[in-house]
Structure 1
């Protein structure tokens, strides 16, 4: 276990929100340490191919390359000047309050090092910004555990980070704004996209016309992706869903079927599509683990997210949050929230107030985009009755191989009424991922809310690391 010199601000996550917060704070004289699990800054949105791959045109995989270049250059300048210490390959597993003892506000940030993750490093800071991002929600269906079934974001990560295709013949399916750029990117890279299957319908957006009109850049972005799908002759099917994936050693085909307006599969509409890969997703979830262990308020009225005020402050003194952790909303919203957080932190740590115009501009962007993504979240809701297609032998928890039949038995015969009890009775969620992948599916089949997980650590930690951790003063 090693301990670094003390900065004023620890930023966890170097995606759009974390970068914007770190750069804004550093511009105003705040000393920042930026910790990120990636080998390079940028997060999932600005994911870069490894330098050894010698990508000739990495910008071809991004639609916001100009913004990324500005962020990258500003970060390099601050690192060179010693205002930001960028710690890559740091997997933060815990943040402690009052780490310095004496009832002060100092925080201790514990991170596992590098790919091996057998050693831990601790940095201390007076303030913490949680920019932990989000991860995909994939709801279970028969065959979803077959090799060749990947998340939509996973397929995109393989393309952006590894310059490889997940397969040659791909079906992209599910719901959410991520699916269209994934399908367009795969088609442009040479994959045959056999079908783009979206469970919503364009009519679902009609009641949000005013909100869409207030965001012409976002509408134009969607139109560009639609044009790419048309150019590559990708078959687009709306108000349909994947019913099952089929294959022996890997996926060989998928069955899709039409949905009625209530989200139920229409009898007699099922058809098979041959493929060697299924890229599927049903939206995004916020990473709230670190916020939960710190005691931050979490909104659980829907999918959980960290609650913040107008300055991106949580209800824990000295802790800010920005980006997908505070609600899924894309890179532009994350940049605005990160900037607002950076202004607020600089005012708190250094007493440097931002120009009112800068704060007002970022606040307007945040308000507009939050309203926009709230509309998308409503329109892109997964099919209401998806659980009806989950057969008894469908595995819900891959780590512990728990089936839908076992979860239903826990509820119907053993009296489980919440996710924790289902977990205790079936072991669903007790494996390596600690329920991050399966919680939504298990909760849906059990008929109970998922809610916050309340994990003591944000990721698995070797016992050897825990044994080395000293008691703080």
Structure 2
């Protein structure tokens, strides 16, 4: 290791990344916090654009006091020079350079990014260790009409509201499954949108079956009760164990059809109801971002990065925290980030982490992981969703591949996994590289969704790749 202080690169400035950066910097580690957004906070703490001069941004947020504490601490560390915050940096690769040396004998890392809004200018950061706090992205399952203008993801609707103070329409239906639907519906209603219905596919009895695990976090229960009270105040109809089965419109959305589901996930005949609306905000939970971990060779279990009790991956010098290790919400991300930051600081000195540094965070992590596991079981997408996807429904929007084409690859050509379907149909070969369509392709093909190991985490200009052999530090 060089004579100067050990250097940690934290990728992602959401709750996990912020907590990790602050914990490591507080123990004497030099930190570079790298994020694709113009401001810290991630999706959860997304702020209105500064030029909008929002008078009450806290009205759009849960846990605003925690954000204020994190924001103040980050500003102090940046002023002291212990944290460098690089905004508008889109990381596309992390590789092991072998030029720096940890006490454990492992090499250092080079983080490659594209800088700026246009993502054209290359930039690199060298570090002794890397912490991946890359968050998650929305899972959206297709249905007839889901590509119509006016259909947005639930998180996209929330991002518009938080980041630009803009609503996606005048009359909305919020649908799918997962805890994100509650803040989206209440946020839109508070902003003046008429929310015609909150359509949740989860079975209310699933909450009762896991009442013990859910009650173990009374703060979360109180948060849910608060959202329910706001739904009542805004007179938003809640339709449990229902799903949107079709979106209607010519040039854009003008209505959706919702229907009740039976215990097996089938549509109950005669329950279909058409709801006029100009916006549908739909989502079916979240998936971890694992691209950078995959490229580094980190072990990925299912769709999440595997970590130990210190949030270390199985690649020496690489830690991971937050949604990338399993989606569980901001509080869990904060706990994991603190644990990871303290671990990095100790390991870079060649020492064992002090148990006192992470005892409270470890207890919180244990409780919140159990809570999130219970939520995952409650909010599982309906089992028969793929049966409602018609053959002419576009599944891969980038390559315009239909459900019928995917089914033909399985039934007629013998495809048995997502990769083979991709090779036969081009589903997943577009700009998003399957991030949006992969869950749907796996569901239609009847196989598990397994992460595809990619060298690059995002599209990169050829000129940048050609120059990558001679990196210049930021």
TM category, shorter: over 0.9
Partner of 1:365: 364
Task: Give the corresponding residue for 2:199.
Answer: 197
User: What is aligned with 1:409?
Assistant: 408
Q: Structure 1 residues 442-451 or 58-67, which shifts more? A: 442-451
1:213: how far off?
1.6
The CA distance in 2 between the partners of 1:57 and 1:158, in whole Å, is: 16
d(CA) in 2 for partners of 1:116 and 1:14? 20
8 Å CA contact 2:5–2:29 kept in 1: the answer is no
Deviation at 1:415, TM superposition (A): 1.0
Alpha-carbon contact 2:6-2:348 (below 8 Å) kept: no
Please give the residue correspondences for 1:151-170 in structure 2 after superposition, counting only pairs within 5 Å.
151-170=153-172
Q: Give distance in 1, aligned partners of 2:128 and 2:441.
A: 39
Q: Which residue of 2 aligns with 1:216?
A: 218
**Cα drift, residue 134 of structure 1:** 0.2
Distance 1:53 1:353, change over 3 A: farther
Output the CA distance in 1 between the equivalents of 2:99 and 2:92: 18
Q: What is the Cα deviation at residue 349 of structure 1?
A: 1.3
1:297 counterpart = 2:299:
yes
| Structure-2 separation of matches of 1:404 and 1:107 | 42
CA separation of 1:69 and 1:353: change in aligned 2, threshold 3 A: farther
Name the residue aligned to 2:251. 249
User: Please, which of 111, 128, 134 is the counterpart of residue 126 of structure 1?
Assistant: 128
Q: Residues 123-145 of structure 1, C-alpha deviation per residue, up to 9 Å, x if partnerless? A: 11010000000000000000000
The aligned residue for residue 10 of structure 1 is: 9
TM-score scaled by length of structure 2:
0.96
2:186 and 2:401 mapped to 1: Cα distance? 35
SS of the residue aligned with 1:279? strand
The answer on whether the counterparts of 1:101 and 1:472 sit within 8 Å (CA) in structure 2 is no
Deviation for aligned residue 1:6 = 9.1
Q: 2:114 aligns with which of 112, 116, 120?
A: 112
Q: How far off its partner does 1:357 sit?
A: 3.4
SS in structure 2 of the partner of residue 100 of structure 1: strand
- CA deviation digits over 1:4-57, x for unaligned, max 9? x99610000000000000000000100000000010000000000111000000
- TM-score after normalising by structure 1: 0.96
Give the secondary structure class of the aligned counterpart of 2:99.
Answer: coil
Kindly indicate whether the alpha-carbon contact (under 8 Å) linking 1:7 and 1:124 is maintained by their aligned counterparts in 2: no
Q: Which runs of 4+ in 1 moved over 2 A?
A: 98-104, 350-358
Unaligned runs of 5+ in 1: none
| Unaligned stretches of 5+ residues in structure 2 | none
Corresponding residue number in structure 1 for 2:280 = 278
Equivalence map 1:71-470=2 (5 Å):
71-100=70-99, 104-300=106-302, 304-350=303-349, 356-470=355-469
Q: CA deviation at 1:356?
A: 3.3
Count of residues in correspondence between the two structures: 466
